[in-house]
Amino acid sequence: MGWFSNKKKAPEFNSPENMSPIEAVTHLCASIHLTDGQADFEERESWVGAISELFPEFSEERAERFLNEAYQALGQKGDHDKMNYIVDVLTRIKILLNTEQINSLGPKIAELIEADGIVMTSEMEIAKLVESHLSISISVNENL
């Protein structure tokens, strides 16, 4: 009888407290990608550049899976829940990444925000959240 069931299996992915370093950074980047409702080519390329520098021996297949999981996880949340989720991801990043990696996130987040040539208010809200939780500075050219 299960063949015709309308119940869809919930997607399975790690909660922030169980994420690996690359997974947490990917979920943070995906939250910026989706602020305008879509992830464009430039934003994806910026994400690849960021994780390539932070995690030089990353698996492309694994990273792509994390990105798709992040899109699903974020797509299931309302605005308030998304911000809480991002805070949880930032808490995990703070635990997993060393000081050098955290400091290098600032310019990478700025590049990601600027990648599509449009700086949105919602992207800047996430940048401020990152700055406050990770004690870093993110310099974005808001006049793009």
CA distance linking residue 52 with residue 38, whole number of Å: 22
Give the residue from 50, 37, 67 showing the smallest Cα distance to 106: 50
Residues 6+ apart with CB under 8 A from 56: none
Average pLDDT in the 43-68 region? Answer: 94
**Residue 102 token pair:** 């955290």
Query: What are the extents of the domains in the chain?
Result: 19-134
Instruction: Report the CATH architecture of 19-134.
Output: Orthogonal Bundle (1.10)
pLDDT digits (tens, 9 = 90+) for 77-135: 998 999 999 999 999 999 999 999 999 999 999 999 999 888 999 999 999 999 999 99
The answer on pLDDT for 15 being more than 70 is: yes
CA distance linking residue 39 with residue 125, whole number of Å: 18
Residue 20's pLDDT band, with cuts at 50, 70 and 90, is very high
